[in-house]
Amino acid sequence: MNERLLKMKTHPNFEELHENIWVIHNFISKEESQFYLDIANSAPEEDWWKREPGWWNGKFLFIKDSSIPNQIVNNIKDWIENPDFWSWGLPSSVHRIRPGEKMFLHADNSNEKSGLNNWVDFSFVLYHNDFNGGEIIYPQINFEYHPKAGDLLMHPGSQNYIHGTKEVLPGPTRYNSTMWMYDNRVKKLHEENKVYEGKDIKNPAYLVENGLEANTRYTIKQMTEDI
């Protein structure tokens, strides 16, 4: 793990779950979580991202008010040495997984083996409520964790940390937000609306030809603003 991250281990609520998988319990305040939950619960259904086909259809809601997302990122930066070593995304969305649903397996830097790179060094998941089931699973290392409200879960973006979720069981919908810490070389690419190195994501033909999801353009433009 990068030595610049070791300061996080001094947080009083820090727990190392597995090698390079960390959690800080109650990192997100109840007020911050309620900010996301209020938006999720009050949003009309048509505001949830509709895209056919695709797993994300109806599971993603963009948040326009960046005050709390900026506050959370700044709180994380306080526990990292030289945070400007990286380029930072904002947790400017809320994701829902309803009972009976689960998330597919993926890596946050998912195309590194194909010679492309979206430069995710480290991933953060913020959990806003308690729910039944819905554990995050890491099958390559035979590990799973049941998140709690207020958790800040952290893991590398690499292919070694492919992850997904188990099915959410009857009870509350599972709500969380995500953000990423990028290698700083990505900053210029983001400014040019390019997510994979040297590849123009404004070109729909490129996305189709290379099997990339069309939502990539939206994600980079709306969720990776540097602060």
Specify whether the CB–CB gap between 151 and 23 falls below 8 A: yes
Three-class SS state of 41: helix
Give how far Cα 136 sits from Cα of 66, 141, 148, 172, 185, Å. 27, 12, 11, 16, 29
pLDDT reported for residue 134: 98
**pLDDT value at 112 more than 60:** no
In which band, very low, low, confident or very high, does the pLDDT at 5 lie, cut at 50, 70 and 90? very high
Which domains can be identified in the chain, with CATH numbers? 3-223 (2.60.120.620)
Of 62, 25, 66, 29, the closest CA to residue 47 belongs to 62
What is the model's pLDDT at position 226?
Answer: 28
Pairing, β 143-145 against β 86-88: unpaired
Check residue 220 and give its pLDDT: 35
Rg, Å, the chain Cα set: 17
Supply the pTM of this predicted model. Answer: 0.83
- Does residue 56 register a pLDDT over 60? yes
DSSP category for residue 163: B
Confidence of residue 107 (pLDDT cuts 50, 70, 90): confident
Residue 26: phi and psi, rounded to 5, are 55, 30
**How much is the mean pLDDT over the chain?**
84
Does residue 191 or residue 140 have the better pLDDT?
A: 140
The whole-number pLDDT of residue 194 equals 67
Q: pLDDT tens digit string along 172-213?
A: 999 999 999 988 877 777 677 666 555 554 544 444 444 444
Other C-beta atoms lying within 10 Å of the C-beta of residue 99: 16
Give the C-alpha separation, 48 to 59, whole Å: 7
The token duo for 60 is 């993603």
d(CA 61, CA 15): 30
Instruction: Give which of 133, 175, 132, 169 is closest to 150, Cα–Cα.
Output: 175
Residue 38 is predicted with a pLDDT of 98
Each residue of 11-51: pLDDT tens digit?
Answer: 999 999 999 999 999 999 999 999 999 999 999 999 998 76
